[in-house]
Structure 1
Amino acid sequence: MNPFYTLVADRAAHCCEYCHAPEMVFNFPFEVEHIVPISKGGANAEYNLALACRSCNLRKGTRSSGIDPESNTEARLFNPRQNEWKDHFQVETESATIKGKTIIGRVTIACLEMNSQTQIMARGLWIRLGLFS
């Protein structure tokens, strides 16, 4: 287990800092990931670490930016240490989708495929169970 896991998981309230999946419904701990990848000059330090579900972490990989599906311009991904989630994302509870309120939100949703069919189905259950915020 990552030596920073307890600190990062507690800080994130045991939710993925990207899609907000609740860790408690999985049968394994979420991953501590580097917001700015080590390969791109990121540090292995508390300020560069985030809690990520397996889906978000795998899809993010070494990315730090992506293309906005609306404007077709490049923008950086959401940074949980620098940005407030609610400023960039909005949950549509009826459809269980996450909408991007900003270019950063839209790029992150697209790159991490946060509205894949599997994610929407799971998020819908979490919403109904009161486990998603």
Structure 2
Amino acid sequence: MSVSEFTKKYVRNRADYLCEYCHSPEKISSSRFTIDHLQPRSLGGSDTEENLALACNRCNQNRYNFVVGRDLETSTILPLFNPRNQLWQEHFIWSLDATKVIGTTAIGRATCDRLDMNDEKYKGERSIREARALWLEAGWHPPANDLRQLKV
């Protein structure tokens, strides 16, 4: 079974067109974001709206079918951040320069690590932090609801 176009539109709108993990804006992406299954179909997850999240291609590819991550501070294995029952602002903040997502809880840290939200494991042609710096210059970043920042 596939996710209907109506449901995809609902998920995008509910997420305010932001990746529900790293809060990248879909409007500046060259491709539409992915409808991600919080509990992957390969692990028995459904196509219901409660099991779906909007994810940028980077977060979706790094998440794959993982549902847990490791908090590098405590070495604890924890469930990944779930935007259906957790608030982003309770688990993440932006660095002072707004280019780095910082996990403020064990779940936030485990999610940042598993999804490699700051390109600390893999360096692509252009890192996400470099892209965020450009988005900041253009006034597209950080999202208005994410203005809490931490000096790192």
Count of aligned residue pairs for this structure pair: 133
Structure 2 residue aligned with 1:44: 47
Normalising by the residue count of structure 1, what TM-score does the alignment of the two structures yield? Answer: 0.94
Max Rg structure:
2
Structure 1 residue aligned with 2:133: 124
Structure 1 residue aligned with 2:147: none
Per the TM alignment, residue 93 of structure 1 is displaced from its structure 2 partner at its CA by 3.5
Structure 2 residue aligned with 1:84: 87
* 1:54-80, Cα deviation, whole Å (9 max, x unpaired): 000000010000111111110110001
Per the TM alignment, residue 129 of structure 1 is displaced from its structure 2 partner at its CA by 2.0
* 1:4-54, Cα deviation, whole Å (9 max, x unpaired): 210000111111000011101112211101011122222110000000000
Coordinate RMSD, CA, aligned: 1.5
Where do residues 22-33 of structure 1 align in structure 2 (5 Å cutoff)? 22-33=25-36
Amino acid at match of 2:66: R
Structure 1 residue aligned with 2:101: 98
In 1, Cα distance between the equivalents of 2:3 and 2:50?
15
- List gaps (5 residues or longer) in structure 1: none
Moved over 4 A (4+): none
What's the % identity of the aligned pairs? 38
Structure 1 residue aligned with 2:9: 6
In 2, Cα distance between the equivalents of 1:56 and 1:94?
21
In 1, Cα distance between the equivalents of 2:136 and 2:87?
21
Q: 8 Å contact 1:93–1:124 — kept in the other structure?
A: no
